Amino acid sequence: MELIVFAVTAVIAIIGAVAMVASKNAVHSALFLLLNFGAIAVLYLLLRAPFLFATQLIIYAGAIIVLFLFVVMLLGAERHEDNRDRLAWQRPVALVMAGLLLAEVAYVVVALPAQAPVTTDEGFGAPEVIAEQLFTTFLLPFQVTAFIILAAIVGVVVLHMQEKRQV
Amino acid sequence: MTWLDIVILIVKCIVLTLAATTMFAYFTLFERRLLARLQNRVGPNRAGAIPLPGGQRILGGWLQPAADAVKLFFKEDVVPVMADKWVYIMAPGFAVIPALIIWVAIPLGYWPDGAGGNLLQLAEIDVAILYLLAVTSVGVYGIAIAGWASNNKYSMLGGIRATAQVISYELALGLAVLGVVMQAQSFRTDTIVDAQTTLWYIVPQFLGFVIFLVASTAEVVRAPFDLVEAEQELVGGYNTEYGSMKFALFFMSEYIKLIAMNAIAVTLFLGGWKVPGLQTLADAVTASFGANIGNAVFGLTSLGAFLLKVTVLSFVSVWVRATLPRVRYDQLMDLGWKVLLPLALINVALTAIVNVILPDNIWISGIVLFVLGLATLIGATILSRPKYTSSQVTMVKNNARS
């Protein structure tokens, strides 16, 4: 049962990822990316991590792609797709790096000795457990991340204020 | 999980979907009749009337939703030539699916199935509140891509407005819900309902309730925040190019989302299906008729109480629509970012401080929070008063007189 769900979801995720890169239209790309993120959220659910499932949906599907769509729609970027790619050197580099990543994954799967699956109890992904870990063991990384995000917010406000002063 | 369990689950899902769509159908009738009364009209009162011997007719209008559905089914289904065909066809589905799946995590009542489960809540999940927020935030895609795919400037403007509005009010909505989560110390909807046995959360979370009501109205793009489909400026907004059942699906998703938001507000702030004396009644029935009938009475009574509370909030929604004019776009953004978001943050801080200082007595901490919340609301109202009185404002300069 779980295997069937996993197989279907994985295929959908891969189709979404490939179609996102391949499609010419920016809005179609954003929608395929949404499909991919949704499939990954379901994979989190299969891994018994409901909290990650919800945050994946709220943050990636619910906020980031909506912002992508908003910007693309507002600027009409999907119509002025420039055929002369100004960043042409990026394409071969990206292909090479993707090949390297794939080779690494293949090496890990094929060459390394198989390990027994990590077994934990069902509740290890519960929100209470995550919160406890986050606010005790991993408090410093958590606070550092919070400060980085705060700095980004302040930066946005400052940039906006400078723009206003010049006008 | 056997195949039989899966079949039972699918049947439950279909029943829930049908219930939600039926609620939508009768909510439209409720709204049309109520709006008509509020505007001193009569409203749809013909379809399905039953004639009585004395020339009287009763129950007029109860078949109106069916008549509307038949009318929409028989309309021609058109796809505009310049539309992006696949996205255009997908958009109504994107709109209606989140509106339907949001219902699985809401406890509609409590009908014990004998094995510790609840027949009136489809999914009892650990992260129910986060699930509700996630599905709400995904709901904007239908509107956004419908506006884009129609290839029409009015639709496009509607889609862009919808995106900006939903992103802005999602924050305030999430933070208002966070107050309840802190109070109940759980993301589970059933635990949150259980925690409201003695005191509904509308008392300690009064500020949160007000923020939730305003933000949820904006989140489902309903009057007075319906800039997305402002008829006077945008023809019909994002659904201008849609007809027949595709339009009906948008209409349906909007109303089902509104009812779902009211149901969430009831669950979080008005005690869910809890009603005083419910347990006593169920115990009495169980004593005289047996456990099965006792459970059934408990389930149906709690479902009735839940629906009654949802109806009260739905009445408020219609009332607000009939009373308030549409806000301006800059006012909408100001309200979301400069008023509701700071108020929601204040609410979270107040909830944390009061629950740490006065953790033991639910009544004392509840009343202290209520007073603090009310004071914050009054303070915000005083601070955000208009700077000029109406006698100091010149709306249009009158050049002709001078």
Say whether pLDDT at A31 is over 80: yes
Average predicted confidence (pLDDT) for chain B? 84
Say whether pLDDT at B117 is over 80: no
**DSSP assignments along B174-213, one per residue:** HHHHHHHHHHHT-S-HHHHHHTTSSS-TTTTTHHHHHHHH
Q: What is the pLDDT of residues B237-275, one digit of tens each?
A: 788 888 778 888 888 888 999 999 999 999 998 888 888
On whether the CB atoms of residues B143 and B162 are closer than 8 A, the answer is yes
Query: Which of A11-15, B49-53, B123-127 has the largest mean confidence?
Result: A11-15
- Band the pLDDT of B398: cuts 50, 70, 90: low
Provide the strand spans (E) within B282-390.
none
Helix (H, G, I), strand (E, B) or coil at B118: strand
**Residues from chain A contacting residue B140 (CB–CB below 8 Å):** 66
Contacts of residue B311, defined as CB under 8 A and 6 or more positions apart, other chains included, come to B30
Q: Is B341 left (phi over 0), alpha (psi -120 to 50) or beta?
A: alpha
Residue A141 has a pLDDT of 92
Say whether pLDDT at A166 is over 90: no
Helix (H, G, I), strand (E, B) or coil at B58: strand
Q: What is the pLDDT of residues B304-340, one digit of tens each?
A: 888 999 999 999 999 998 888 888 888 888 888 888 8
CA distance A3 to B215: 41
Query: Which of A60-69, B72-81, B251-260, B271-280 has the largest mean confidence?
Result: B251-260
pTM, to two decimals:
0.85
Q: What angle do CA A77, A63, B193 make, to 5 degrees?
A: 155
Residue A116 has a pLDDT of 65
Interface contact A62-B164, CB threshold 8 A? no
Interface contact A66-B163, CB threshold 8 A? yes
Interface contact B145-A50, CB threshold 8 A? no
Helix (H, G, I), strand (E, B) or coil at B57: strand
Pairs of CB atoms within 8 A across A/B: 74
Residue A33 corresponds to which tokens in the numbers above? 């990316």
Say whether pLDDT at A144 is over 90: yes
Query: Which of B150-159, B293-302, B340-349 has the largest mean confidence?
Result: B340-349
CB count in 10 Å sphere of residue B190: 18
On whether the CB atoms of residues B143 and B228 are closer than 8 A, the answer is yes
**Distance, in angstroms, between A160 CA and closest chain B CA?**
16
Which helix (H) or strand (E) segment is B232 a member of?
helix B231-234
Nearest residue in chain A measured CA to CA from B134 = A58
Q: Determine what percent of chain B is predicted with pLDDT higher than 90.
A: 8
- Band the pLDDT of B197: cuts 50, 70, 90: confident
Mutate to test the interface with B, among A31, A33, A51, A64 (most CBs of B within 10 A): A31
Contacts of residue B155, defined as CB under 8 A and 6 or more positions apart, other chains included, come to B146, B147, B148, B237, B238, B239, B240, B241
Query: Which residues of chain A are at the B interface, by a Cβ-Cβ cutoff of 8 Å?
Result: 1, 25, 27-28, 31, 34, 50-51, 53-55, 57-58, 61-63, 66-67, 69-70, 73-74, 126-127
Residue A160 has a pLDDT of 81
Q: What is the pLDDT of residues B18-42, one digit of tens each?
A: 988 888 888 888 888 888 888 888 8
Q: Does this complex have an ipTM over 0.85?
A: no
CA distance B257 to B265: 12
Phi, psi of B108 (to 5 degrees): -85, -10
Query: Which of B46-50, B122-126, B303-307 has the largest mean confidence?
Result: B303-307
- The whole-number average pLDDT for the span B337-356 is 88
CA distance B312 to B319: 11
Residue B149 has a pLDDT of 84
Q: What angle do CA A72, A78, A82 make, to 5 degrees?
A: 120
Q: Determine what percent of chain B is predicted with pLDDT higher than 70.
A: 97
Q: What is the pLDDT of residues A76-101, one digit of tens each?
A: 766 655 555 666 777 788 889 989 99
Residue B315 has a pLDDT of 92
Residue B274 has a pLDDT of 82
Mutate to test the interface with A, among B133, B140, B141, B192 (most CBs of A within 10 A): B141
Say whether pLDDT at B56 is over 80: no
Query: Which residues of chain B are at the A interface, by a Cβ-Cβ cutoff of 8 Å?
Result: 1, 84, 87, 125-127, 130-131, 133-138, 140-141, 144-145, 147-148, 156, 159-160, 163-164, 166-167, 170, 187
**Distance, in angstroms, between B311 CA and closest chain A CA?**
29
CA distance B228 to B168: 14
**Residues from chain A contacting residue B133 (CB–CB below 8 Å):** 54, 58, 62
Residue A10 corresponds to which tokens in the numbers above? 């994985």
Residue B82 corresponds to which tokens in the numbers above? 């310049």
Say whether pLDDT at B205 is over 60: yes
Say whether pLDDT at B371 is over 80: yes
Residue A79 has a pLDDT of 62
Nearest residue in chain B measured CA to CA from A37 = B138
**Residues from chain B contacting residue A67 (CB–CB below 8 Å):** 167
Q: What is the pLDDT of residues A93-139, one digit of tens each?
A: 888 998 999 999 888 888 777 666 666 666 777 788 888 888 888 89
Interface contact B167-A63, CB threshold 8 A? yes
CB count in 10 Å sphere of residue B307: 17
